[in-house]
């Protein structure tokens, strides 16, 4: 069994940002040399997500509106977590809805995707360097 490990780093300009990281993951898979296996991609911080969906700007806006509707950033006093001095109580909840991780099948050396699957890093408390795990195991 082979394994390949990489910590990617993202530092967004905005508090919330959605970044298509598919090409990064494809590069790691190529480097791993793995033909058949599983690829885990997860946010290593607890106010960010990795998810799979469409690379369509309207949809990304829909996601952001939906999340802000369910767990608005303000008022900060909505979240007990913010009593610790943080202002990211909403970000922990937004990340939970969108998910921490994806697991992707690796077949014949490629990410075995349907027609529209793209891997996104969703940042909900950015403007600082944050890490994304890529772990591929197989043969």
13 scored as a contact of a second copy (CB under 8 A): no
C-beta separation of 40 from 134 below 8 A: yes
CB of residue 73 to a second copy, shortest distance in Å = 13
Give DSSP secondary structure letters for 37-65.
Answer: EEEEEEESSTTEEEEEE---HHHHHHHHH
The CA radius of gyration of the chain, in Å to the nearest whole number, is 16
Write each residue from 67 to 106 as x if it is in contact with a second copy (CB under 8 A), else as -, in one continuous string.
Answer: ---xx-------xxxxxx----x--xx-xxxxxxxxxxx-
Piece in contact with a second copy (CB under 8 A), picked from 16-24, 25-33, 42-50: 42-50
Binding segment for a second copy (CB under 8 A), chosen from 9-17, 24-32, 47-55, is 47-55
Interactions with a second copy, residue window 110-129 (CB under 8 A): 112-117
Sole binder of a second copy in the list 16, 24, 45, 73 (CB under 8 A): 45
As measured in angstroms, the least distance from the Cβ of 58 to a second copy is: 3
Which single residue is written with the structure tokens 């069994």? 1
* Torsion sign over Cα 63, 95, 17, 32: negative
- Whole-angstrom Cα distance, residue 59 to residue 30? 29
Interface residue with a second copy, options 30, 31, 33, 38 (CB under 8 A):
38
Measured distance CA(111)–CA(36) in Å, rounded: 10
Q: Using the minimum distance from each CB to a second copy, give the nearer residue, 20 or 96.
A: 96
């Amino acid at each position: 069994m082979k394994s390949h490990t990489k910590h990617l780093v993202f530092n967004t300009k905005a508090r919330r940002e959605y970044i298509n990281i598919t090409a990064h993951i494809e590069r790691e898979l190529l480097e791993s040399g793995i033909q058949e296996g599983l690829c885990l991609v997860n946010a290593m911080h607890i106010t960010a997500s990795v998810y799979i969906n469409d690379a369509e700007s309207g949809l990304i806006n829909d996601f952001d509106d939906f999340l802000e509707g369910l767990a608005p950033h303000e008022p900060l006093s909505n979240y007990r977590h913010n009593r610790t001095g943080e202002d990211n109580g909403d970000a922990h909840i937004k990340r939970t809805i969108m998910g921490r991780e994806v697991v992707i099948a690796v077949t014949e050396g490629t990410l075995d995707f349907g027609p529209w699957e793209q891997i996104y890093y969703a940042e909900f408390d950015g403007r600082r360097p944050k890490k994304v795990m890529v772990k591929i195991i197989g043969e």
